[in-house]
Amino acid sequence: MTIDRRLEEKLGFDKVRALLSDRCSTDYALQRIAEETFSTKAADIRKRLLLTDEMRLIAMFEETFPTTGYIDALPFLVPLEKAGSSIDLLSLGKLKTLLDTVRRLVHFFSSIKDGIYPNLKRFSAKVMTFPEVLRRIDTILDKFGEVKDTASDELYAIRKSIRDKESALSKRAAALLRKAIDEGLADADAALSVRDGKLLIPINSSSKRKMPGFVHDTSATGKTTFVEPAEVIEIQNEISELHFAETREIARILYAFSEFVRPYVPDLEQAATYLGEMDFLMAKALTALDFKAGMPVISEDGQMNLRKARHPLLERALHKEGKEIVPLTVTLTPQKHLLLISGPNAGGKSVCLKTTGLLQYMFQWGMLIPTSETSELPVFDRIMVSIGDDQSLENDLSTYSSFLADMRQMLDRSDEKTLVLIDEFGSGTEPTAGGAIAEAILAEFDKRGVYGVITTHYTNLKLYAAGAETGVINGAMQFDAQHIVPLFQLEIGLPGNSFAFELARKMGLPEAVVKDAETRSGEEFVGIERNLRKIARNRRALDEKLQHIRNTDKTLESLTGKYQKELEGIRQMKKDILDDAKQKIETIEEGK
């Protein structure tokens, strides 16, 4: 499946990808994040979620789990497949890091009990650890990643000769400096100088011709000339030749190692891929911890129950401002599969819609989501959106034309395995016609069994959703009517009020103008709005009474249970007393 960049941008998943990328240590994991797609297969989604959830638990509780050493190895391993190729020193050090990290990971999972992190344990069980390759690297490299003197007999001899020559060079240069000072060619406090790797003697410029050698530099004042003595040049040339020999021997050692390791390369590439996958899973797990996310249940009966859902990007933004997000609960079923959310502007309708869409997308992408872990989500074949203004000057599309283009695409492809997300349904044109077209489209979605979250201000759509025979259910974003402020709480089952006239009064419009607007809107509209407010108040009062009754019922049940137990105890005591008395009477009668 190809990645729908427009959909991801509308939902905000492009920003989630960026957050995941920031957690990666390897280019492999970055590429996995860039290429991972939205899945429509429940088995694949479950596998992705289980692996991520186990890694999340590891990140939370396992202090011994390896969290460093995640490096890219495929760029230098793949070329090693070709005969005659050779690994370089830097890549050899990376290979050692790779093997050590893989060994620690495999050991971690092999040492834990069965049943703990079973999916990651199974994933790691088939990975090889290459102890012989690691042993061979250890014979070549020291702990600093440099080639050891003992990597070969020839290298040992070369480096010993280099040290001997360097010692002789130092001694000879020191002797020449003392001689130059004694002969007055150099100042009494002169010291040997090193320029570009050359050992130089500072000679008074007036006497520079008395010191056979090569002039390398002159001091800023011109009083001192730095000379490489002829006797030293020969020794330094010998040292240079030894360094060339050292380089050739190291190249030979690396080539010999490459020949040794070449048969292992395909398996090493698998180990490198495994390490990259673990880095990818760790990025997902750490992001889940950042989002305070958990693993939802995959629905098998078409139920969508998002409980205490939070938009992760909005929550991060609010947290920086010292604010708390209001969790949402969204429920869709095969019987009521379209949620129509209404309410005032800036009341949270779009946030609810985008939260539903983003979390569903994250879920089918294989990410844990910031909801209660009792949340239940179905698997959709597609998510389709109409969010924001997609008008195009190039294509001469107005806002409403863009909306209609979105609706055409949705009507072409949507079915009961589709989730549609439509913001400000039908707006952008003349209200009567726009409302009618929107209602006709809504009815078609309803007939097809399409799932969706739709926001609107249209009263005719609210009335359609109120019908008992439809698959659409109203939802209202709650509003504090007394203070005229949004509460950002979604209430399922009731249509929302636009609070247009109240907001107009709060913003200071003259009362006469607001009254005139109410009159012009017509008694029917005003009556509907007033009834919606009345229903909301009555519903809230009813919910409070029902909660009080439930609490009272629980108290009564508790008392009834207590008294029932005491009554049973009394009955049992009475029975024990009677049985004891009966036994005593029988004993007395037997004694007579």
Residue with tokens 């006239």: 501
- Cα(236)–Cα(242) distance, integer angstroms: 10
Local mean pLDDT, 10-residue blocks, the chain (592 residues): 91 96 97 96 97 97 95 96 95 97 96 94 95 96 94 96 89 80 78 78 78 78 80 85 96 97 96 98 97 96 95 93 92 95 80 95 97 95 85 54 91 96 85 89 96 91 85 84 67 74 74 79 60 58 74 77 80 79 70 58
Residue 393: per-residue pLDDT: 40
Cα 147 to Cα 88: distance, rounded to the nearest angstrom: 11
Neighbours of 592 (CB within 10 A): 4
For 272-291, letters b (16+ CB in 10 Å) and e give bbbbbbbbbbbbbbbbbeeb
The span from the CA of 549 to the CA of 570, in Å, is 31
Q: How far apart are CA 246 and CA 152, in angstroms?
A: 11
Question: Scanning the structure block, which residue is given the tokens 């209430």?
Answer: 491
CB contact burial 363-392 (16+ within 10 A = b; e otherwise): bbbbbbbbbbeebbbbbbebbbbbbeebee
In this prediction, residue 237 carries a pLDDT of: 87
**β partners of residue 199:** 194
Q: Give the Å distances, CA to CA, from 497 to 309, 326, 531.
A: 23, 20, 10
Sign of CA dihedral 48, 53, 59, 62: negative
Residue pointed to by tokens 């259910």? 473
pLDDT computed for residue 592 by the predictor:
53
Instruction: Say how far apart CA 189 and CA 191 lie, in whole Å.
Output: 7
| pLDDT confidence of residue 284 | 98
How would you classify residue 353: left for phi > 0, otherwise alpha for psi between -120 and 50, otherwise beta?
A: alpha
Cα 464 → chain centroid: 40
pLDDT digits (tens, 9 = 90+) for 174-196: 887 787 777 788 787 788 777 77
Tell me if 353 sits within 8 A of 455, measured CB to CB: yes
* First-to-last C-alpha distance (Å) of the chain: 98
Summarised one tens digit per residue, pLDDT across range 368-413 is 999 998 999 999 999 999 987 554 444 445 678 888 999 999 999 9
Q: Which two tokens stand for residue 476?
A: 């209202």
Query: Long-range contacts made by residues 39-48, C-beta under 8 angstroms, separation at least 24?
Result: 39/1, 39/364, 39/365, 39/366, 40/1, 40/364, 40/379, 40/380, 40/381, 40/382, 41/379, 42/298, 42/379, 44/366, 45/298, 45/363, 45/364, 45/366, 45/379, 46/298, 47/119, 48/365, 48/366
- Please give the Cα distance from 95 to 89 (Å, whole number): 10
Residue type, 88: D
What confidence score (pLDDT) does residue 102 get?
97
Distance CA 567, CA 573 (A): 10
- Kindly state the helix (H) or strand (E) to which residue 157 belongs, with its residue range: helix 153-182
238 burial level (CB within 10 Å; 0-12, 13-18, 19+): middle
pTM for the predicted model, two decimal places: 0.80
Residues 6+ apart with CB under 8 A from 296: 49, 363, 369, 371, 373, 375, 376, 377
Give the pLDDT score at 347: 67
Torsion sign (Cα): 455, 456, 457, 459: negative
Write out the DSSP string of 104-136: HHHHHHHHSPTTSSHHHHHHHHT----HHHHHH
DSSP-assigned letter for residue 443:
H
Take residue 197 and report the two structure tokens written for it.
């790797």
Residue type, position 38, single letter:
F
